[in-house]
Structure 1
Amino acid sequence: MFTKKRKLGRKIDGLKVGEKVEVTKKIEDKDILLYLGYTDDANPIYLQHDYASRTPFQKPIVPHVLINGFVFSTVSMYLPGPGSAVVSQNLSYPKPLYHYGQLDLTVEVTNINEEKHLVTVSVLGKDELGDTVLEGSLEVCPPYPMKPMTHDEGHFENF
């Protein structure tokens, strides 16, 4: 991953309002455990079935920050793609996403501001039952065109 040259994503002049990408992610134990291990977040609503069963959620939920991570990686990998940076977010979570659930994520370009070099994307996430578990928008700075310095214009080295 770190030694392979990667192509940059789509530049602002190559994007169009209405373009979208749809990604499906099945939430597995490893996803939640990696998040919890990395952040040291031991919130019982994410882990403990006995605690969660006594709440309106009824069972452990997927951390919202983990869901955000899937959204951000969709932006980074697909639309606009590598070289993009999320600069602001407005996200809400109308219903919980549960362990072993499925996140069906749609990211769509809704506005392009070439002067500010920003793209607004809408975000919609549904679970396997079709219930909305995430909605909102992001402002994204798409990759800048690379200034040629060597023969490998458009690619970059990691480390």
Structure 2
Amino acid sequence: MLLGKKRKIGRMIEEITAGEKLEVTEKIEDRDLLLYLGLSNDNNPLFIQHDYAAMTPFKKPIVPQIMLLAIVTGAISKYLPGPGSSIKKHNVTYANPVHHYETLHFQFEVVDVLRENHEVVINVNGTNEKGDAILEGQFTVSPPYPVKSLTKTTSFDNF
């Protein structure tokens, strides 16, 4: 971390209104799956073994659900409300499996702004390239707080 370096932070709660929308599209690639599996040490054969997955109702390997959650939380951290925000609560349902190499579309909508709690409520719906639902969720997020200056001080009581 570099002290004093200017960082872009997301939007403050006063700048957010109910009804705002965001769309994000992601394609699931081998690189993404390998990074997740290496990081998590998750060796579920349903995620990586074609011969095993072929014997299940899924027919072929599926994408770990936590990867879908990571796409959603990443979009919240990057875009809505953006850098400096923190997810306080989430409720997610995974409607259908996602297979490797699918292109996914996520729609985000701010449904409530709770200024007294410093929270925004965001609904998320995800679909695959065929339009099938893959994820539905609601996230309670604390938008970034105003940054206090590192150099501005009002008194030096200890000096």
Same structural fold, with TM-score higher than 0.5 when normalized by the shorter chain = yes
- Residue 53 (1) aligns with residue 59 (2): no
- Residue 88 (1) aligns with residue 86 (2): no
Secondary structure in structure 2 of the residue aligned to 1:6: coil
CA deviation profile, 1:93-151 (whole Å, cap 9, x unmatched) = 11011100011011110011111111100011110111110001101010011223448
What RMSD over aligned residues (CA atoms) do the two structures have, in Å? 1.4
What's the counterpart of residue 30 of structure 2? 29
- Residue 16 (1) aligns with residue 17 (2): yes
What CA distance in whole angstroms lies between the structure 2 residues aligned with 1:115 and 1:74? 24
Query: Aligned pairs, how many?
Result: 150
What CA distance in whole angstroms lies between the structure 1 residues aligned with 2:29 and 2:123? 25
Secondary structure in structure 2 of the residue aligned to 1:21: strand
Unaligned 5+ residue runs, structure 2? 153-159
- State, as a whole percentage, how many aligned pairs show the same letter: 49
After the TM superposition, list the runs of 4 or more consecutive aligned residues in structure 1 that deviate by more than 2 angstroms. 2-6, 147-151
Q: Cα distance 1:133–1:89, how it changes in 2: closer, same or farther (>3 A)?
A: same
What CA distance in whole angstroms lies between the structure 1 residues aligned with 2:102 and 2:81? 26
Return the structure number with greater relative CO, CA threshold 8 A, min gap 6: 1
What CA distance in whole angstroms lies between the structure 1 residues aligned with 2:109 and 2:94? 18
What CA distance in whole angstroms lies between the structure 2 residues aligned with 1:141 and 1:65? 21
What's the counterpart of residue 115 of structure 1? 116
What CA distance in whole angstroms lies between the structure 1 residues aligned with 2:60 and 2:87? 31
User: 1:6 Cα shift?
Assistant: 2.5
What TM-score, normalized to structure 2? 0.90
Unaligned 5+ residue runs, structure 1? 152-159
What's the counterpart of residue 76 of structure 1? 77
What CA distance in whole angstroms lies between the structure 1 residues aligned with 2:40 and 2:83? 25
What TM-score, normalized to structure 1? 0.90
CA deviation profile, 1:62-92 (whole Å, cap 9, x unmatched) = 1010111100110000000000011111000
Which entry has the higher C-alpha Rg, 1 or 2?
Answer: 2
